[in-house]
Structure 1
């Protein structure tokens, strides 16, 4: 067998090994967390009581769900939060619904005086989902709700 054939065979084997290893690596690569079926609801004050905002979402990650940070903000404020800013936001309460999924709920309560001072009109909810492996997904417009006039 000539030396040229041996070298070509070795190069081919190395190339095939690289493709196979790349295929294995991509098959086991972790995915980013997902946020689905997100809803937000504003409950107006009744009988002198306070108001309440409830946000719920299905969160998934192949490593499991570690946390969901939530920030509700009035659209008129033009706040436009970024992922890094949500690191310090409040966390939702997440209950496992499967190996890779959780149902996360966040409730914000405002007393009667606070509720009276809330900006009226549309609000947005931004979220930052974090998997157990540290992967994150930022959703700037996860849901909307309206504080009535």
Structure 2
């Protein structure tokens, strides 16, 4: 083969490889399932109203968000919920904010009687996010809040 044919062919193969690699990198730059900007707040019940625990977060995945399961637990309990256990936890209400992201909010009403039984101190919120494509993301300590007497 002559050098005139070989050099352009090699340059063409290298250029084609670079374009293909770039296209593959763009196609595979998918958004991983993520739970971000999570926050929790506890308000004790009063004579006028029930108390509540509220948790909210942004959940995103390139396939969309199917659900967010939420559970709160006291630090003093030494519990460490697992992803498997969270499959049976409470559901957050998720509202789509874009094709990939949803804002999820979970609210639990707390009566005076229930509040009396809550351990005072630090509490954690664990979450299990599930994407439309079935991927899951477990966050054992997605947020922290305080229960005071």
TM class by shorter-chain length?
Answer: 0.7 to 0.9
Aligned residues, how many? 142
Q: CA deviation at 1:134?
A: 0.8
Q: CA deviation at 1:23?
A: 6.1
Unaligned runs of 5+ in 2: 2-8
Per-residue CA deviation, residues 77-99 of structure 1 (Å, 9 max, x unaligned), is 11111111111111100001111
The change in CA–CA distance for 1:45 and 1:66 in structure 2 (over 3 A counts) is: same
Cα contact 1:67–1:92 (8 A) shared by 2: yes
- Match for residue 105 of structure 2? 105
Asked if residue 143 in structure 1 is aligned to residue 143 in structure 2, the reply is yes
The change in CA–CA distance for 1:27 and 1:82 in structure 2 (over 3 A counts) is: farther
Unaligned runs of 5+ in 1: 2-8
Name the CA distance, whole Å, in 1 between partners of 2:131 and 2:25: 18
Cα contact 1:35–1:57 (8 A) shared by 2: yes
Asked if residue 39 in structure 1 is aligned to residue 56 in structure 2, the reply is no
| TM-score (norm: length of structure 2) | 0.81
Describe the SS at the equivalent of 2:76. Answer: helix
Describe the SS at the equivalent of 1:84. Answer: helix
Name the CA distance, whole Å, in 2 between partners of 1:85 and 1:20: 46
| TM-score (norm: length of structure 1) | 0.81
